[in-house]
Structure 1
Amino acid sequence: MAPLIVILGYQTHISALLTDFNMLVVIAMVHSHELIALGSNGVWSLELQGFFLFVGVAVSFIGPGRYKLKN
């Protein structure tokens, strides 16, 4: 639900922080053995999870921008 709220731009900071917390729990519980592993093509094994985590951090700092729903 939090990513949908981020997309809509309503309470973006709070929902981005919830998404970050969710990704940290996912990485800790499921992917902890892959933190420093590389995939078969030489990229970080947690590339997608890291992308979601770092985009959530960026959105929580930057905010929704011009297009958002009213608070």
Structure 2
Amino acid sequence: MKDDLIWFKSSYSDGDGSECVEVAVSWCKSSYSDDEGDNCVEIANGPRGIRIRDSKQRSGPQLAVDGSAWAGFIAYIAAA
């Protein structure tokens, strides 16, 4: 899978386009997704937390959670 960078303009940048700071995120496919591209979950560490999406619907809805919620979820899954 090609990891495309997604750019976000900083909320602290001004409205006319000058003095802009942008942050890039790269989507990573879950290692538990199958090789045919089915059942794929992708995550990205973004400027406001973790983003989660279905790789078959890249322009579709995304779930956003903060880092502590994601860490708790990963700890729970690892203990299961």
Query: So what's the TM-score if we normalise by structure 2?
Result: 0.21
Structure with bigger gyration radius: 2
Structure 1-normalised TM-score?
0.23
Comparing both structures, which one devotes a greater share of its residues to strand?
A: 2
Identify the structure with bigger relative contact order (alpha carbons < 8 Å, sequence gap 6+): 1
